[in-house]
């Protein structure tokens, strides 16, 4: 009986020490993970604030960093929809040519988990236009299929999109009946052509357009 109690006590002490050690390791690693996430988010914000054709910053890089620092970088929920979630903070910028630019993020369900997107919308006389997009989380998508959404050449299929292309809702080309036309021509109609580069992976790009549609809807709601 004493041996059983002794063994139990040893196991209890060992478990407690192990738990404490793992807790300390987690606390130490958590900060590093958060720093890496924040750095990746800042990088995405800078990317979407570039001209998609020239690659030039629409806002001075230093000003971007200052506004992000002032506004905060910790993720917050701005609004939940049945199709997905719009995330903040909502960053507001004025471009070098005087236009209002808004950067926010959102996610929608992909094949294996949520697909998270950062996007920049610019206000024009005709409404919001989608300037640029950066997919920052697709970790649960299938390698070789949905995970191809991480490739920059594929992400560029989603932007830029003029106001008239956003008003009726973005769609992947398969959901639009596979219309003929180049990716650039179809984007003007709000159609993202991915069937030729993501064969068999409709769910992931559909998650991206869903997240973008929700962000656009949110901006329309708060700007009224």
In whole angstroms, give the CA distance from residue 66 to residue 96: 16
> What digits encode the pLDDT tens for the residues 3-18?
565 665 666 666 767 6
Residue 53: pLDDT band by 50, 70, 90 thresholds?
very high
Helix (H) / strand (E) containing 192: strand 191-192
Is the Cβ–Cβ distance between 84 and 214 less than 8 Å? Answer: yes
For residue 76, give both structure tokens. Answer: 């917050």
Q: Looking up tokens 């910790």, which residue turns up?
A: 74
Candidates 120, 126, 78; CA nearest to 95 is 120
Overall pTM > 0.75:
yes
pLDDT at 131: 99
Whether residue 175 is predicted with pLDDT greater than 80 in this model: the reply is: yes
Residue 19: pLDDT band by 50, 70, 90 thresholds?
low
Beta bridge partners of 132: 120
């Amino acid at each position: 009986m004493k041996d059983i109690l002794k063994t139990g006590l040893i196991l209890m002490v060992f478990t407690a020490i192990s738990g404490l050690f793992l807790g300390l390791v987690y606390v130490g690693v958590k900060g590093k993970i958060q720093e890496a996430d924040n750095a990746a988010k800042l990088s995405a914000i800078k990317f979407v604030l570039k001209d998609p054709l020239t690659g030039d910053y629409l806002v001075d890089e230093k000003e971007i960093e200052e506004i992000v620092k002032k506004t905060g970088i910790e993720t917050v929920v701005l609004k939940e929809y049945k199709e997905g979630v719009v995330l903040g903070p909502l960053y507001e910028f004025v471009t070098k040519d005087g236009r209002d630019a808004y950067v926010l993020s959102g996610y929608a369900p992909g094949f294996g988990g949520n697909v998270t997107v950062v996007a920049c919308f610019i206000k024009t006389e005709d409404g919001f236009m989608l300037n640029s997009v950066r997919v920052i989380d697709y970790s649960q998508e299938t390698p070789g299929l949905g995970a191809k959404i991480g490739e920059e050449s594929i992400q560029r299929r989603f932007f830029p999109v003029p106001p008239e292309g956003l008003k009726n809702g973005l769609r992947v080309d398969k959901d639009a009946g596979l219309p003929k036309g180049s990716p650039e021509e179809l984007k003007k109609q709000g159609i993202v052509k991915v069937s030729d580069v993501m064969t068999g992976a409709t769910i992931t790009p559909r998650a991206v357009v869903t997240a973008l549609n929700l962000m656009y809807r949110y901006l329309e709601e708060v700007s009224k």
